[in-house]
């Protein structure tokens, strides 16, 4: 006699396991622990076998009957439904074993050991994979990943302004696919087909130093700069503010409140025509107080060399960098922004939207509205102090996480 849905629902556990028969070999097996399992007994090649059809209530009575009917069709065609199920399970296991994340982690361990990566470098690579790649395509079989899949994950990175990170992530994917192709787990490398779309920023335009060790060398060179004191202060503050060069050189003392550690830049001087607030670290305030003794009576924080009524030349920072023997394709005045954006994102792991706010990029809330200048102010203050402290460590030659595109 066939079971009813009510009978199945009301089946209670007892001290001993028991069966509720439905027909054609199918029954509900009720375990003493309360578990209810669909089973089907059948004979194949003169051997008695049992096929698991699922667990109630995840598999309903109707679903179990459909699975039983499918199994009986296989039997009618001379096929063992148990063997088919084992083959399907093996196929699923193989897909999971060859997922992009599994292969990616295998590649990572092999490379880390064979190339003797330092912990800081390997940590940066695995964090990038875990944050920007695995959540989106990690569960997909590596052989089934398409060019569109790769382009999609890399575009997500570029949309937050982290172009260098997207370039490095593309390189990681490239190496993972080549690794998988060696033993046949992947037949193609879709990452290689999009690499031109996610190249590193053109270093001839807004050239920037983003390797922490080289940043330390730059900071030490700035401290040793023998030119104008005003220019030297501008050089020291540029990495702490990471504003646009024009916003820096045209800074006015009236915009600063050193007691509250804030620089309020008016909308008319901002590229996006929105007022911008720069929280000041203790290091920045100290430099500004020292400079105030010299230029505090003038309008501009960084007055020109020949007159106080105009700001410093737009060539002053560039000329100072060249004087310190940093070539035009190595570092620019605008490069302090790329330096901060890259290291805050890749090394210090600061939330991308905090960085974008501080760069005065257009960042909108979930409703599409532009955030105001004080958005995430507490977090940005913390970030700016963390950044200044990190730069102090680089300047002193502290052990840092190295960004090396060749090793990536």
Taken in order of first residue, the domains within the chain and their CATH numbers are 5-97 (3.30.160.390), 100-198 (1.10.150.130), 212-395 (1.10.443.10)
pTM of model > 0.75: no
Find out whether 154 and 116 touch, Cβ atoms under 8 Å.
no
Mind telling me the catalytic residues? 244, 271, 334, 337, 361, 371
pLDDT at 145: 92
* Cα gap 189→177, rounded to integer Å: 5
pLDDT at 91: 62
* Cα gap 174→192, rounded to integer Å: 6
Find out whether 344 and 405 touch, Cβ atoms under 8 Å.
no
pLDDT at 199: 74
Burial track 344-378 (b if 16+ CB lie within 10 A, e otherwise): bbbbeebebbbbbbbbbeebeeeeeeeeebeebee
* Cα gap 85→82, rounded to integer Å: 5
Question: Tokens at residue 179, please?
Answer: 């690794």
* Cα gap 276→98, rounded to integer Å: 48
Q: Is the pLDDT of residue 201 over 60?
A: no
pLDDT at 271: 74
- pLDDT tens digits for range 292-322: 999 999 999 999 988 888 899 878 898 999 9
What is 300-357 written as a DSSP string? BSSB-SS-TTSBPPTTHHHHHHHHTT--TTT--STHHHHHHHHHHHHTS---HHHHHH
Q: Distance of CA 25 to CAs 67, 71, 86, 154, 256, Å?
A: 12, 11, 20, 53, 84
- pLDDT tens digits for range 39-92: 999 999 889 999 999 999 999 999 999 999 999 999 998 999 988 888 777 666
Q: What is the mean pLDDT of residues 92-114?
A: 82
Of 254, 328, 260, the closest CA to residue 298 belongs to 254
Q: At what angle do helices 119-128 and 163-182 cross, to 10 degrees?
A: 90
Q: Is the pLDDT of residue 13 over 70?
A: yes
The burial of 260, by beta-carbon neighbours within 10 Å (0-12 exposed, 13-18 middle, 19 or more buried), is given as: exposed
- Residue-averaged pLDDT of the chain: 86
Q: Is the pLDDT of residue 400 over 80?
A: no
Q: What percent of the chain has pLDDT over 90?
A: 53
Question: Tokens at residue 358, please?
Answer: 């501080």
Find out whether 391 and 236 touch, Cβ atoms under 8 Å.
no
pLDDT at 98: 82
- Name the least confident of 31-35, 113-117, 125-129, 343-347: 113-117
User: Predicted confidence band at 117 (pLDDT cuts at 50, 70, 90)?
Assistant: confident
pLDDT at 404: 42
User: Predicted confidence band at 403 (pLDDT cuts at 50, 70, 90)?
Assistant: very low
Looking only at Cα atoms, what is the longest distance across the chain?
Answer: 104
User: Predicted confidence band at 135 (pLDDT cuts at 50, 70, 90)?
Assistant: very high
Find out whether 219 and 239 touch, Cβ atoms under 8 Å.
yes
pLDDT at 407: 33
- Name the least confident of 159-163, 225-229, 285-289, 296-300: 159-163
Which range among 18-22, 88-92, 109-113 has the greatest average pLDDT? Answer: 18-22
Report the DSSP beta bridge partners of residue 252.
300
Find out whether 39 and 81 touch, Cβ atoms under 8 Å.
no
SS3 65: helix
Question: Tokens at residue 71, please?
Answer: 């199994």
Better pLDDT: 255 or 351: 255
pLDDT at 27: 96
Q: Is the pLDDT of residue 204 over 50?
A: no
* Cα gap 315→231, rounded to integer Å: 11
* DSSP assignment letter at 129: I
Q: What is the mean pLDDT of residues 244-273?
A: 90
Find out whether 320 and 248 touch, Cβ atoms under 8 Å.
no
| CA-based end-to-end distance of the chain | 66
């Amino acid at each position: 006699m066939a079971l009813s849905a009510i009978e199945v629902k009301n089946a209670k556990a007892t001290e001993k396991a028991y069966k509720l028969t439905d027909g054609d070999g199918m029954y509900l097996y009720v375990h003493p622990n309360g578990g209810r399992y669909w089973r089907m007994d059948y004979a194949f090649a003169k051997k008695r076998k049992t096929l698991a059809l699922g667990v109630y209530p995840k598999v309903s009575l109707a679903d179990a009957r459909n699975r039983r009917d499918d199994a009986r069709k296989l039997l009618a065609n001379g096929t063992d439904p148990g063997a088919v199920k084992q083959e399907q399970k093996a196929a699923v296991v193989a897909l999971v074993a060859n997922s992009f994340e599994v292969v990616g982690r295998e590649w990572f361990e092999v490379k880390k050991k064979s190339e003797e990566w330092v912990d800081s470098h390997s940590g940066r690579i695995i964090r990038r994979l875990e944050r920007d790649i695995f959540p989106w395509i990690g569960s997909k079989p590596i052989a089934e990943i398409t060019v569109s899949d790769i382009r999609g994950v890399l575009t997500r990175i570029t949309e937050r302004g982290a172009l260098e990170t997207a370039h490095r992530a593309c390189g990681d994917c490239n190496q993972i696919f080549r690794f998988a192709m060696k033993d046949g787990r992947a037949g193609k490398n879709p990452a290689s087909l999009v690499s031109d779309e996610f190249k590193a920023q053109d270093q001839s335009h807004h050239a920037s130093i983003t390797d922490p060790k080289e940043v330390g060398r730059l900071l030490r060179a700035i401290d040793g700069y023998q030119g104008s004191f005003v220019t030297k202060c501008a050089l020291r503050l540029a990495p702490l503010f990471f504003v646009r060069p024009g916003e820096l050189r045209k800074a006015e003392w009236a915009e600063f409140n050193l007691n509250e550690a804030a620089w309020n830049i008016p909308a008319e001087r901002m590229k996006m025509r929105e007022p911008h607030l720069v929280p000041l670290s203790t290091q920045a305030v100290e430099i500004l107080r020292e400079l105030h003794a010299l230029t505090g009576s003038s309008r501009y924080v960084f007055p020109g060399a020949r007159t106080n009524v105009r700001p410093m030349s737009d060539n002053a920072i560039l000329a100072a960098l060249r004087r310190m023997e940093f070539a035009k394709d190595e570092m620019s005045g605008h490069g302090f922004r790329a330096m901060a954006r890259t290291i805050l994102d890749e090394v210090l792991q600061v939330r991308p939207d905090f960085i974008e706010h501080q760069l005065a990029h257009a960042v909108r809330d979930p409703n599409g509205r532009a955030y105001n200048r004080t958005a995430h102010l507490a977090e940005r203050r913390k970030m700016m102090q963390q950044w200044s402290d990190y730069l102090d460590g680089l300047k002193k030659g502290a052990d840092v996480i190295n960004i090396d595109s060749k090793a990536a």
